[in-house]
Amino acid sequence: MSRKKWTSLEKPSLSRPVLDVVESMGFELMTPVQAAAIPLLLSRKDVSAEAVTGSGKTLAFLVPLLEMLSRRSKESPWTPKEIGAIIISPTREISHQISEVLQVFLTHEQLKHLRQKLIVGGGSIEEDIKCIQNEGATILVCTPGRLEDLFQRTGTLNLAGRVKSLEFLVLDEADRLLDLGFKTTINNILGFLPRQRRTGLFSATQTTEVTDLIRAGLRNPVLVSVKEKSTINTPSRLQNFYKIVEASDKFIALLDFLNSTSIQEAKIMIFFPTCACVEYWAGVMPHFLKQRLILSTHGKMKNKRKNVIERFRKEDRAILLCTDVLARGLDVPEIDWVIQWDPPSNAASFVHRVGRTARQGNEGYALIFLLPSEDAYVNFLKINQKVELNPLRNECSQGQLDLKTVLEKLHKLQINDKSIFDKGVRAFVSHIRAYTKHECNAILRLKDMDLGKAATGYGLLQMPRMPELKTLKADNFIGPDFDVDIQKLSYLNPQKEQARQEKIRTYEETGQWPTKKKHKKVIESWEQSKTKKELRKAKKLRKKETEAAENKKGKKRKTHYTQEDLEQLANDLRLFKKLKRNKISDEDFCKEMGIEDE
């Protein structure tokens, strides 16, 4: 299919300001998803678009969004209290990227009347509210949790009132939104939005959950499915490789690859299974790759992630260690290689990870390390995701590393700083636990892994205590050649070392290792809790009676009750309950209450 030019878009045509910005960004031809989705959206259709990662989905919804808002502003200018479009994406990183691209358009003279506001977690929600109230926002770029919070807050903002004129709603990376558990949140948000709107839903894959969301949020949508080839789920200019290595040699294989002459100038992303793995290797790798900038980010870093990604964009030879938090939506066209420490938890994540390279028509490469017991994963991926993996040719590094040299250095780093030892243990344990949660557990089985070799690959000083070691093999562990007393390892950080020394002193004095103090819950007897409950009911009942009497008289009067009054009322309540349950007769009840027969 020949690709259309932006200027040749027919019925309806694009306005000059939008075209000017698109051309200034270097785009001459539309991608297939843009050519299919933009005319439909501009024709007032709801659209559900499925396209592979890196296919230009962002412009596919930003261009019609700006056209819709511009046309409406010619008829009736947008007021500061009106919101014309909302873009919802699953993560802060994707929201930031969309906001940056959108801002390029809004700098155009004829689009400056449109204002955007980025609404994501991590900052003060009060500041967001104040900014929307004072400055207004025609377009909201947001994550679902923060947007739902703003809708549910009752106050001076009244976001539900501001979206009554909403023209366009975008759900970006819809499958990821649902994977992260935002289904209820999205449905709550849809309840606040007007039905007379256009909706665009964009995703890399169509799942059952996405189909359900289409039914709930879109009105008679046009389904657009764009794939570069019917047999390929990844970008066409991406080459996928695999390398089979023993668990003990995986770090050495990674270092050899990164030191190879053809890779030294490349910008690289390395995916690890857990946040703890990223923390450990980010502390270790700079000691082995002193000429490269090593950056790291993961889901627990929250506010630091934006700064790390910005630095990664600017540095030409940077290496970014990360988790699946960056497997979707990150748009850095200059990434040359994507490396995976081991197979992701599900096959779809493989496609999303490698989609970080070979973007916008550039060439890209991806490499995954597999254990000898995981060789069937190559064929599995071909069948399940239509992705071809080829064996990696031997890359020649400047100096081949051997296991003994690397282990000696890893052991020395941990002995010199106990925090590195702690991170290594946490990384290994979290990796093993994550391995048990693979969806394709018929191929990736923990019982086939040699935990001893895996712990050796992490350079641990000793095998950690974990339940898995009771039933699985761990005989091939290689530790240091000398005895190491783990209890005598010290922290380089003075504060952490001081806290450790205080714990040691407490242990020597008491014989117990100090832990965090837990607040003891006061346990009341059944009779005590029952009495308190009845007293609370009595107070409520007496308060209602007093308010009713005061309202009848037309004035309010504060009444004070003694403890004797409250106890009497509680006793009356108990009598009522006994009468209701037929535990006392009417005669006994009247006698106890002091009611005389007429």
Identify whether 431 is part of a domain: yes
Judgement on whether residues 200 and 77 belong to the same structural domain of the protein: yes
Least confident span in 125-139, 154-168, 310-324, 553-567: 553-567
- The three-state (H, E, C) secondary structure of 96-144, written as one string: HHHHHHHHHHHCCHHHCCCCEEEECCCCCHHHHHHHHHHHCCCEEEECH
Judgement on whether residues 220 and 291 belong to the same structural domain of the protein: no
Task: Return the number of other C-beta atoms located less than 10 Å from residue 443's C-beta.
Answer: 17
pLDDT in tens, 2-30: 567 776 665 457 878 888 888 887 777 78
% of the chain at pLDDT higher than 70: 90
The C-alpha atoms of residue 458 and residue 467 are separated, in whole angstroms, by: 19
Domain closes at, from 426, 460, 482: 482
Judgement on whether residues 330 and 314 belong to the same structural domain of the protein: yes
Give start and end residues of each alpha helix (H) in 168-326: 174-179, 183-192, 208-217, 250-259, 275-284, 305-314
Identify whether 526 is part of a domain: no
Average pLDDT, the chain: 86
Judgement on whether residues 148 and 295 belong to the same structural domain of the protein: no
- Residue 265 burial (C-beta neighbours within 10 Å; 0-12, 13-18, 19+): exposed
The C-alpha atoms of residue 230 and residue 279 are separated, in whole angstroms, by: 39
Judgement on whether residues 275 and 218 belong to the same structural domain of the protein: no
Query: What average pLDDT does the segment 422-450 reach?
Result: 92
Identify whether 384 is part of a domain: yes
Enumerate the β-bridge partners of residue 240: 366
Judgement on whether residues 20 and 111 belong to the same structural domain of the protein: yes
Judgement on whether residues 124 and 110 belong to the same structural domain of the protein: yes
* Assigned token pair, 458: 């992490």
pLDDT for the residue 220 = 85
pLDDT for the residue 491 = 95
Identify whether 580 is part of a domain: no
The structural domain count of the chain equals 2
Judgement on whether residues 348 and 373 belong to the same structural domain of the protein: yes
Identify whether 237 is part of a domain: yes
- pLDDT at 555 exceeding the cut of 60: no
3-state DSSP assignment of residue 451: helix
**Overall pTM surpassing 0.75 (yes/no):** no
pLDDT for the residue 159 = 93
Domain closes at, from 420, 448, 482: 482
pLDDT in tens, 300-357: 887 788 889 999 999 989 999 999 988 887 778 789 999 999 999 988 889 889 989 9
pLDDT for the residue 508 = 84
556: confidence class by pLDDT, cuts 50, 70, 90: very low
Domain closes at, from 174, 194, 225: 225
Identify whether 415 is part of a domain: yes
Identify whether 489 is part of a domain: no
296: confidence class by pLDDT, cuts 50, 70, 90: very high
Judgement on whether residues 300 and 195 belong to the same structural domain of the protein: no
- pLDDT at 256 exceeding the cut of 90: yes
pLDDT in tens, 486-534: 989 999 999 999 999 998 888 888 888 787 655 555 555 566 677 777 7
Query: What average pLDDT does the segment 560-567 reach?
Result: 66
pLDDT for the residue 230 = 45
The C-alpha atoms of residue 344 and residue 353 are separated, in whole angstroms, by: 9
Judgement on whether residues 181 and 270 belong to the same structural domain of the protein: no
Output the domain CATH number for residue 376.
Answer: 3.40.50.300
Judgement on whether residues 413 and 275 belong to the same structural domain of the protein: yes
- pLDDT at 407 exceeding the cut of 90: yes
Residue-number span of the structural domain to which 421 is assigned: 231-482
Cα 174 to chain centroid, rounded: 13
The residue ranking higher by pLDDT, 163 or 228, is 163
% of the chain at pLDDT higher than 90: 49
Judgement on whether residues 202 and 328 belong to the same structural domain of the protein: no
Query: What average pLDDT does the segment 64-83 reach?
Result: 92
pLDDT for the residue 123 = 80
- pLDDT at 1 exceeding the cut of 70: no
For the chain, what is the radius of gyration of the CA atoms? 32
Identify whether 571 is part of a domain: no
Q: What is the dihedral of CA 345, 347, 351, 354, to 10 degrees?
A: 50
